[in-house]
């Protein structure tokens, strides 16, 4: 397997659906098209089957299939970080094994949701997965969805004691927490933003990039922000940050990925189809989204 750096603009890829005989199915052809579109537009990594990919509504078979398709379509041209987390350690191990067999370059492991483990429970959960499946693992910390925060001290303990836990996607919304992680962990530990609006601040404290929602529709702009910063062109990076902010705000006006999928439908990138319990946007918010896309110059 080719060795990749996990940095820059990594897209948190949507899962495109279509209706067939009254049933929602994964649009495999469109999924392949999206992967190639991202490669053509400079995206530096793809992360399928995460929050934005509506993983909670995918069956095991669909989950495995989406990861397989993305890996096959990339043809080794950029890294695939497969979302394989669960609130069941056994299920997470199962999904991670399948992703490794398919050729994933890394696994994205969300903190267990709903059952709210202690910090010791979190440590044992992630360690068990990493010890069982020898694949690079990136933690995914998003307490707003899971109900539990992986504390910086726990992340540092995992980084130091488990060789294949190599980084974290930080979506706590707290730059203070991100800084504490960076301070406590080894220099080689990869810090990625899970909040599009905090990408530039995170880069400024030593982060490596972002696993981005907005990159689904503006991949070149997310890459330009990261690339400009890394080249020392802070002025351009700041300009991109402020350009992106209104769009990012609109993409989170309702629960992700509802506005994103709606925007992708408007832009003709894929059907706006969602799976319940996610549903269509309210009329008022839809108008805000349309106005923002127009102001940005996308329509």
Helix (H) or strand (E) holding 121: helix 119-132
Contact 1, 103 (CB under 8 A): yes
Whether residue 169 lies in the annotated active site: yes
C-alpha closest to that of 192 among 170, 172, 176, 214: 170
Whether residue 113 lies in the annotated active site: no
pLDDT above 60 (res 1): no
Model confidence band, residue 53 (pLDDT cutoffs 50, 70, 90): very high
Q: Does residue 246 lie in a domain region?
A: no
Which one of 30, 98, 100, 169 is the catalytic residue? 169
pLDDT at 63: 97
On average, the pLDDT of the chain sits at 97
Q: Does residue 241 lie in a domain region?
A: no
Domain range for 21 is 8-231
Q: Does residue 266 lie in a domain region?
A: no
pLDDT at 4: 79
pLDDT above 90 (res 39): yes
Contact 274, 261 (CB under 8 A): yes
Overall size of the chain counted in residues = 299
Q: What pTM, to 2 d.p., does this model score?
A: 0.96
Which one of 30, 98, 100, 140 is the catalytic residue? 140
Taking only the tens place, the pLDDT of each residue in 134-193 is: 999 999 999 999 999 999 999 999 999 999 999 999 999 999 999 999 999 999 999 999
Span 246-263, mean pLDDT? Answer: 98
115: three-class secondary structure by DSSP = coil
Residue 229 CA, distance from chain mean position:
21
CB atoms within 10 A of CB 102: 17
Q: Does residue 163 lie in a domain region?
A: yes
C-alpha closest to that of 194 among 229, 136, 160, 146: 146
Q: Does residue 15 lie in a domain region?
A: yes
Q: Does residue 223 lie in a domain region?
A: yes
Q: Does residue 152 lie in a domain region?
A: yes
Span 119-137, mean pLDDT? Answer: 98
Q: How many domains does the chain have?
A: 1
CATH number of the domain encompassing residue 70: 3.20.20.70
Half-sphere exposure of 254 (CA within 13 A, CB side): 19
């Amino acid at each position: 397997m080719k060795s990749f750096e996990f940095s820059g603009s990594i897209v948190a890829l949507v899962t495109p659906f279509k209706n067939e005989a009254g049933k929602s199915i994964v649009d495999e052809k469109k999924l392949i098209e999206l992967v190639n579109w991202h490669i053509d537009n400079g995206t530096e990594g793809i992360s399928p089957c995460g929050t934005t990919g509506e993983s909670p509504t995918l069956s095991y078979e669909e989950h495995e299939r989406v990861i397989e398709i993305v890996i096959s379509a990339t043809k080794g041209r950029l890294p695939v970080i497969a979302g394989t987390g669960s609130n069941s350690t056994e299920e997470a191990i199962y999904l991670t094994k399948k992703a490794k067999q398919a050729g994933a370059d890394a696994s994205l492991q969300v903190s267990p949701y709903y059952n709210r483990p202690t910090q010791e429970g979190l440590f044992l959960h992630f360690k068990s997965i990493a010890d069982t499946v020898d694949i690079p693992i990136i933690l995914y910390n998003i307490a707003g969805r899971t109900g539990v925060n992986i504390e910086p001290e726990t992340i540092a303990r995992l980084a130091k004691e488990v060789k294949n836990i190599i980084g974290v996607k930080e979506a706590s919304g707290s730059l203070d927490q991100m800084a504490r992680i960076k301070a406590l962990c080894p220099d080689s530990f990869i810090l990625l933003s899970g909040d599009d609006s905090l990408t530039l601040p995170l880069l400024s404290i030593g982060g490596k990039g972002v696993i981005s929602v907005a990159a689904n529709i503006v991949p070149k702009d997310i890459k330009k922000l990261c690339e400009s910063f890394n080249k020392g062109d802070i002025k351009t990076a700041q300009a991109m940050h402020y350009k992106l902010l209104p769009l990012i705000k609109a993409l989170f006006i309702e629960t992700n990925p509802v506005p994103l999928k709606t925007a992708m439908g408007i832009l003709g990138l894929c059907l706006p189809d969602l799976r319940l319990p996610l549903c269509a946007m309210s009329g008022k918010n839809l108008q805000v989204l349309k106005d923002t896309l127009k102001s940005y110059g996308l329509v």
